Amino acid sequence: MSTPGNTLSITKIKLSLVAPPLIATIPVEEDNSSNDDKFQHSGRRILSIDLAENIGPVYSSNHPDPILPPRPKPSTEDQYSQLYKLGYDPTPYGNPDKGTGIYATMLLPPDLPQNREANQKGDELRNEKIVRDIRKVVQDDMKLLPGERIDTVVLDPEPWTKHLAALDGLSPKHLKVRAGFEESIDLYALTVLSNPWTELESLLLDSECMGWKMHTSSNGPDADYAGFEANYPNIIKQIKTLTLYYCCGFKFQADNLPEKLLHLKIIENDAMAMFVCACTNIPGFMERVETVYIASTVGCDTSDPEPFKQHLVKCTNVCDLTLVMGGRQNTDLGLAKFIPPSVEKLAFHCSTSDSMLENLDEWLECAADPAWLPVLNSFTLKMDGEEVTLLSKNKRKELDPSKAFGFEQKIKAIMKALGTKGVMIEDIRQSSN
């Protein structure tokens, strides 16, 4: 077993539409405290593909002047980065130091015919080159021993069919994909690879707000499978870990469903509603799932929390449960009696609302009940479930002294009741972040 302070190395290959390919081997300190984190979605050798096209100023008719993209901040990875050897001469594509070819900035105004044609040509060349680079990385990876191969693929944002097809030959365990302007992620091309991704264990989707409802098979100009309307890609059938980060609308009504899913994390939007759909529509989910993480504080969830509670308590195999609740919908109320009795590790993030203060009486009643959560061995309480807004994100809400005293007294009583059962307690009244 590793001990704290051990140094590991992570290799990251970075491909970009607007920068030369890089490889970095980065030393990191091993953190044993995260060994039980089921939602890391990352391994030791990572292929990160940046598909953002904003190489130069962004033009908008709403602004008299072009909008310059933010300058990238220096990264700790930069000191370890070096050019990835491509095996071909990249100079015909342009010079990044001189800003020529695919590295040239957008010509403005973009609606002039000659500028539009030149900008389109630049986009085509950038995508041609990155596909070529992906294939080179895949070829190199296929020559490595199994333990040395790429285990994580990161696509950001919104890959096209041609980008996904170029990944044929990899065998990753983790896949992370972020949506772009269309808020849509189409992974159908991964289902027709000559070398199926049979080792894939975890999937993280970021900002997929179409719920995978009847996508066409390509959202780019390379419509190799135009007209095919896919539901859920079949790779989802084998994953054990799924994270939906600011996604919405997932009903889990499709032929391909994550029937091996053990760990589910849903962050915000209609998180509770999507969880209910998972319970209802994924065969055997409530009897099988081991880890559940639900965050619902932004006020976009179902107006009726009862179905969520009724389905949560029926998840009879859940050992590790995290609930981050609050906001204007009061999603943190009335949950204590609906925690599955199988839970061993419970983290509850709540608000500091008047209603929550009153609801702590129910938590105290449950904590004092010997039959409540008989196998619970770890309990964390954080009072940071406030709705985050542009005005509040950098401010921590200060409690009225009398209200703070009320929370203090009730929380102490809850902790004391659980402590007499031998439960390990972490009491953090408000997050320091």
Tell me the pTM: 0.87
Q: Has residue 75 got a pLDDT over 50?
A: yes
pLDDT of residue 108: 86
Return the closest-CA partner of residue 323 out of 303, 389, 301: 301
Task: Please tell me the distance from the alpha carbon of residue 171 to that of residue 199, in angstroms, as a whole number.
Answer: 6
Mean pLDDT of 358-380: 96
In which element (H, E) is residue 121 found? helix 113-141
For a pLDDT cut of 70, what percent of the chain falls above it?
A: 83
Mean pLDDT of 268-289: 96
Please state which of the ranges 123-127, 170-174, 226-230 shows the lowest mean pLDDT. Answer: 226-230
Query: What is the separation of C-alpha 149 from the centre of its chain, rounded to a whole number of angstroms?
Result: 23
pLDDT of residue 428: 53
Tens digit of pLDDT for each residue in 317-343?
999 999 999 877 888 899 999 999 999
Q: How far apart are the first and last CA of the chain?
A: 31
Q: Has residue 275 got a pLDDT over 70?
A: yes
Task: Please tell me the distance from the alpha carbon of residue 373 to that of residue 367, in angstroms, as a whole number.
Answer: 9
CB 11 within 8 A of CB 47: no
Q: Has residue 63 got a pLDDT over 60?
A: no
In which element (H, E) is residue 263 found? strand 263-267
Q: Has residue 40 got a pLDDT over 80?
A: no
Mean pLDDT of 71-83: 77
Q: Has residue 128 got a pLDDT over 70?
A: yes
pLDDT of residue 210: 82
Mean pLDDT of 79-97: 92
Mean pLDDT of 155-174: 96
Task: Please tell me the distance from the alpha carbon of residue 331 to that of residue 326, in angstroms, as a whole number.
Answer: 5
